[in-house]
Amino acid sequence: MQTAPHDFRTATIPHSDPKQTPLFGDAATTDIGSRVRKYFETSGFSRWTAIYGSGDIPPIWRVIRDGHQRAIDEVLSFIETDKHHTALDAGCGTGNLSIELANRGYEVDAFDVSAPMIHFAKYINTGRTKGIPPNFMVGDIASLAGADKTFDLVCCLDVLFHYPYEEVATMLTGLAKLSSHKVVGSFALRTPFNDFWMKVGQRFHAKNRMTKLFMFSYDQVEQILYRAGYKMARTKRIKFFFYDSFVFEAVRR
């Protein structure tokens, strides 16, 4: 099982200061942003490092692991024939996608708002790539400064559903500015069926949940990307039991 060798939640974690990297500015963190960060630094850290690892986990988490792997495979199929060199993996988690990109020859900058997650990603991915190891950093998508640096490819997989529409609009616009060719990401698709189950879930679990799930229509996301100078190229809804992620590839118009 891919477990942490020591407690990453309480360890003193040496990590890059987001303000010292040219990618990030000073945007104020929203209430939702603070809650999401806190979740992924504490209980969410344990949960998602287990789900994204390779050890034994409960069957219900296994569904998420297998569904997520299908989403990663879809992202990799979107970039299969690209001759790109640089990539940014925003909200990289344990770095599963970052490593796949590095193995395909990309120079990868990867960041996550959770410092323990980045520490863990650095730890488990040491020596795991044939290519240049990803540069893992702590940082918040909401505070991307739209810096001088751009990337051929910008990815943001299974992150945006933690945020409401206005915040997603700011985040996706910031990510799009940092890409010179392609943005690949995912969101939770709003459908009557998903709406119904979300309401049921909120009724029974709302008090225990540190994060909320926000769903969007295809048109809402397409519009944000269009305004940012992109058009949708390919999409695929990855539905595997209850794992449901709408993966998209957007290219510059």
Q: What is the dihedral of CA 77, 252, 118, 240, to 10 degrees?
A: -40
Angle at 55 between CA 52 and CA 57, to 5 degrees: 80
Residue from the set 8, 48, 120, 246 that interacts with ligand SAM by CB under 6 A: 48
The least CB distance from residue 37 to ligand SAM, in Å, is 7
Binding-site size, ligand SAM (CB under 6 A): 21
Residues 55, 3: contact at Cβ < 8 Å? Answer: yes
Candidate ranges 3-11, 128-136, 155-163, 223-231; the one touching ligand SAM (CB under 6 A): 155-163
Contact pattern for ligand SAM over residues 7 through 46, marking x by CB under 6 A: --------------------------x--x---x------
Contact pattern for ligand SAM over residues 121 through 150, marking x by CB under 6 A: -------------------xxx--------
Contact pattern for ligand SAM over residues 49 through 78, marking x by CB under 6 A: ---x--------------------------
The answer to whether 244 contacts ligand SAM (rule: CB under 6 A) is no
Which amino acid, residue 151?
F
Give the C-alpha separation, 242 to 73, whole Å: 18
DSSP readout, 16-62? --GGGSTTB--PPPPHHHHHHHHHHHTHHHHHHHHHTSSS---HHHH
Residues 154, 175: contact at Cβ < 8 Å? Answer: yes
Total Cβ atoms within 10 A of residue 140 = 21
Output the six-digit token pair for 64.
């998420």
The answer to whether 113 contacts ligand SAM (rule: CB under 6 A) is yes
Residues 216-235 that bind ligand SAM (CB under 6 A): none
Q: By the criterion CB under 6 A, which residues form the site for ligand SAM?
A: 33, 36, 40, 48, 52, 91-93, 96-97, 112-114, 117, 140-142, 157-159, 162
